[in-house]
A and B are shown apart, each in its own frame.
Chain A
């Protein structure tokens, strides 16, 4: 079901993405790590029992991780692929190797999962975009290592292009007010673009 973006973001996620290569140089999958803001993290962990209060283990969070990967299926995992400029529909199989971890200090959840390509991509140019078309989740690249190549042939290069402006927690209030103006629209405007070139 597709609906129109109407609201403002309720969840903020900083993303780190790895492109996984097979030996023959084809991209086999996309490995994501999304760290959510503390407010959403508090909401998502409500009612989850932890042996040590305020510290959730991977096992304790596994049902939530399962729920997450199942529900984001309806949103195409917020991950959109273009191969040599052509939009790929339904490009990924169900997520594998998924789990959540919880940073007790920052009180933030991080969701890890890998999206395997249905057909490994051996092309000159691959564009991966990460965004929520409904803009319920505001995705932004991590400051450190927003994107990495794993097992890539030497000629491959990758560039990460972040959305025009960010509206992240780390910003001061005044910055936020000025930036937010330019920051609003359909989620696609805020797509995080990962461009892989293998000439």
Chain B
């Protein structure tokens, strides 16, 4: 009976994990194929269609800026096209959809925070583009080469931050995963001797006691809360806050906690700082198109229109990235729901997926930093 239950949940968890993996890959497979020197056939399907739309909107942007100089009403069209360009362009590289989704996936985030992170990074991206052109071109009279070089420096900093973010996540999530794996082994050994408690209720406690027996300074454990919310029973399943190995962990953990940042922490003051690191990592690099459009607007004597267009582009970008982020958060919630059943396997799988997502963030950072994956080209030819 226990075995059959376990199998069924394991199967469901596996199915969910597969769906998640496909979804996660899907977010970037459209734009990024790993490996250097690939020369495939023409991009077809959705990716090709998205690229075609971007190209068309970008060309239209130029055309509208050209005519806005003599015909003010073109500015309305410019804003509309900027918005559409932003929506479609976010599907391209360099807008952090993949990094943001993986980050959200690795952490337990609310959709609200996912959307907020997306908007914040899009706003930051607009601001960097505007700042570069304002300072370099307007104030300093700098050349395009200098602007390109500036973008490259920012790019390296941004990719470095993604690597750091990924490394930190991987460390935290790795601990969570291996901890859960360890617990599962211990629990399996226990439940074979104690068949009366199929859900390995080693953390038996009442509703108001959410500290579940471990005493490393966390008044409220997320996993416990979640279980109570979902099941309405004070039983523990697949959960890793055990007192049997926490004490020694405490001394070696830099974060003093076996698991990654939980939503409660992330929503707190420290949490926003962590979210900020993700925003800065992905939002720092401006998009090449925005810079070229801004300089062109400046040359037309319509710099303010360029600035407005850049912000509207950012709004469009935020909508796309925010939508993808929401899907990532939804998938994660689903995964957790499937996992929270009387078995430890599901939980271990969730931890494994989180661990994997953290690895994806790190991999993105490394590939970007080493140039195996390119963002948009910037600069002169």
**Which residue of B32, B44, B92 contacts A8 across the interface (Cβ within 8 Å)?**
B92
Q: Which of B172-180, B250-258, B371-379 contacts A (4 or more CB under 8 A)?
A: B371-379
29 contacts between A and B (CB under 8 A): A3-B372, A4-B32, A4-B374, A6-B375, A7-B92, A7-B288, A10-B58, A10-B376, A10-B377, A37-B62, A42-B296, A42-B300, A46-B143, A47-B140, A47-B142, A47-B146, A49-B141, A68-B380, A68-B381, A72-B381, A134-B377, A167-B55, A169-B59, A173-B60, A173-B63, A176-B56, A185-B42, A186-B39, A186-B42
Q: Annotate A151-174 by CB proximity to B: 1 below 8 A, 0 otherwise.
A: 000000000000000010100010
Interface contact A186-B40, CB-CB below 8 Å: yes
Q: A43-B144, A167-B59, A180-B55 are in contact. Are A3 and B381 (CB under 8 A)?
A: no
Interface size on B, residues (CB 8 A): 59
Bound complex: CA of A133 vs CA of B206, how far in Å? 64
Whether B292 sits at the interface, judged by CB under 8 Å, is yes
Q: Does A76 contact B (CB under 8 A)?
A: no
A142: B residues at CB distance < 8 A = none
B274 on the interface (CB 8 Å rule)?
A: no
Closest B residue, CB atoms, query A47: B143
B52: CB under 8 A from chain A? yes
A residues in contact with B43, CB < 8 Å: 5, 184-186
Most buried by A among B32, B55, B289: B55
By the criterion CB–CB under 8 Å, are B371 and A3 in contact? Answer: yes
Q: In the assembled complex, how far is the CB of residue A129 from the closest CB belonging to chain B, in whole angstroms?
A: 13
Complex interface: chain B residues within 8 A of A134 (CB) = 374, 377
Flag whether A98 is at the interface (Cβ < 8 A): no
A133 to B66, CA, bound (A): 28
Report the 7 A-B pairs with minimum CB-CB distance, sorted nearest first: A185-B42, A3-B374, A47-B143, A42-B299, A8-B55, A2-B37, A180-B56
* A155 to B36 alpha-carbon distance, docked (Å): 42
Tell me if B49 is interfacial: C-beta within 8 Å of chain A: yes
Q: Once the chains are docked, how many angstroms separate the CA of A8 from the CA of B334?
A: 35
Q: Is B68 an interface residue (CB 8 A)?
A: no
Which chain B residue shows the least CB distance to A111? B381
Chain A residues within an 8 Å CB radius of B54 = 7-8
A46-B142 in contact given A6-B32, A37-B62, A134-B374 (Cβ < 8 Å): yes
B151 to nearest A CB, angstroms? 12
Say how far A175's CB is from chain B's closest CB, in angstroms: 10
Cβ proximity bits A48-89 to B, threshold 8 Å, 1 near / 0 not: 110000000000000010011001100100000000000000
Tell which of B51, B58, B60 has the most Cβ of chain A within 10 Å: B51
A6, B56: Cβ atoms under 8 Å? no
Collect the chain A residues with CB atoms within 8 Å of residue B312's CB. Answer: none
Whether A71 pairs with B292 at a CB distance below 8 angstroms is no
Question: Do A1 and B289 touch (CB < 8 A)?
Answer: no
- Is B123 an interface position by the 8 A CB rule? no
A83-106 contact mask (Cβ, 8 Å, vs B): 1 or 0? 000000000000000000000000
B48 within 8 A of A: yes
B116 on interface, CB distance cutoff 8 Å: no
Judging by beta carbons under 8 Å apart, are B92 and A6 in contact?
Answer: yes
A173 CB contacts on chain B under 8 angstroms: 60, 63
Within 8 A of A (CB), among B19-58: 31-33, 36-44, 48-49, 51-56, 58
Residues in chain A near residue B157, CB distance under 8 A:
none
Q: Please classify the interface of chain A as helix (H, G, I), strand (E, B), loop, or mixed, using the class held by over half of its residues.
A: loop
Contact of B48 among A38, A39, A169, A185 (CB under 8 A): A185
Proximity string of chain A (1-45) to chain B, C-beta cutoff 8 Å, 1 when within and 0 when not: 111111111110000000000000000000000000111101111
Closest to A186 in B: B42
Query: B376 near A180 (CB under 8 angstroms)?
Result: no
Asked if B52 and A67 make an inter-chain contact with CB atoms under 8 angstroms apart, the answer reads: no
Q: Check B145 for interface membership: any CB of A closer than 8 A.
A: yes
Whole-angstrom CA separation of A171 from B289 in the bound complex: 20
* Pair B373/A3 contact, Cβ less than 8 Å: yes
Check if A47 sits within 8 Å of B141, measured CB to CB.
Answer: yes
Q: Is A183 an interface residue (CB 8 A)?
A: yes
- Residues on A with C-beta less than 8 A from B293 are 39
- Contact (Cβ within 8 A) A6 B31: yes
Cα A97 to Cα B55 with chains together (Å) = 33
Contacting pair B59 A3 (CB below 8 A): no
Chain A CB within 8 A of B93 CB = yes
Closest to A189 in B: B42
The reply to whether the CB of A181 lies closer than 8 angstroms to some CB of chain B is yes
Q: Is B295 an interface residue (CB 8 A)?
A: yes
> Given that A184-B55, A186-B41 are contacting pairs, would A67 and B32 also be in contact in the complex, using a CB cutoff of 8 Å?
no
| CB-defined contacts of B296 to chain A, threshold 8 Å | 38-39, 42-43
Point out the residue from B33, B52, B289 that lies within 8 Å of A181, measured CB to CB. Answer: B52
A117 within 8 A of B: no
Q: How far is the CB of A87 from chain B (nearest CB, A)?
A: 12
Q: Which of A2, A64, A189 is the one whose CB lies under 8 Å from B380?
A: A64
Q: Are B52 and A1 in contact (CB under 8 A)?
A: no
A-chain residues with CB within 8 Å of residue B201 when the two chains form the complex? none
